[in-house]
Structure 1
């Protein structure tokens, strides 16, 4: 009697592991995002996400970071489109940020320690939610193709962040920082003071009331800085450039973590 050839049963896969086709590696779905663990809060589509440790730094790339809580990301799964493309709108910062007075912008930092400070701040505000550090690797060639402006601590920085946080139109001398067709990226220090305190400062007191004490500093004493992508077409191009080069390091919610250690 002929014996039927037994077939191995496919192993169970995490819903965050990218699907594999039987035809071989050439037909595998390309990974859009990597993630360090299967989280409770972050519901990513499985087809384009792979669970793995944070990858190494790529040559000729610049690393940028962002610290967030799940509750501040709206629907994290929306970051990945059904065809695997990245959609970054869920990471946008609405108007009244340091450098975006009446438009959405995307804030990142080149210093991982700065992102960690933001993540810890989010953890304190949302102790029942998972938090994360998002790491993207951007080709230097792409960055070099963009128009980049700097606005470091100075009288102009004080004036610009004051008008931006108040959502008032900046003086024309700042047009190069925000008008369409001008800067694609603006880099500069982070204002550490909560917005409502800045809003209360009278215009004639900007230069005397806003000081270096309003600049965010890391525990090491280093000034924290930010990269702001502000043109819509630039952000769309950024999404294309970082596909497959975005990693989420998830931290379990502080409230749940403390319960498991009791």
Structure 2
């Protein structure tokens, strides 16, 4: 049993900080906001290099098809990495559950808002439904993918840290990202394929691989920033000794 003055996941050899002090509430708030904003941005389909076609077997390289949340959603995994590395799995799991609850609350509020009778002067009902309308299958796909992907990301990182201690942070960040992002992408596509127009195995494989590779690449590119944030939080958390 953990002593009262020790963080939840701490052991004599593995260090984590208390969640009640320092940066934890701020990071959780930013983590939750990132999830909410990226899910709204994701309602827009985006195509890069739409005039060019290039493929390697079943993998379509160009054009790059994604959604409007592509630049923001990976930040949720970066923040998840910071939480896991500094505060441990139990504290990160709590943040993930908070984000999960916020997503459900947002979906419920959006659904109620769409169902409310429109005033005579309001002409944007169709646009509102397009942006925030709730499609049950997509909602289930997004929630399941987020929950499993984030929990696996955190669990893998913490398990690796307990073996490596403070060494080889890059390995923990990449290893947890590969597992978490692949699970996230695979689960979402498996549930939502029919709704988003994926009806062949070629399209399914392409969507999963491109989505997974893109999200992983983004996290690798921002790894220097993740390193700096983790170092700053560790240095300034009074309970991370």
Higher strand content, 1 or 2:
1
Task: Tell me the TM-score normalised to structure 1 length.
Answer: 0.23
Task: Tell me the TM-score normalised to structure 2 length.
Answer: 0.24
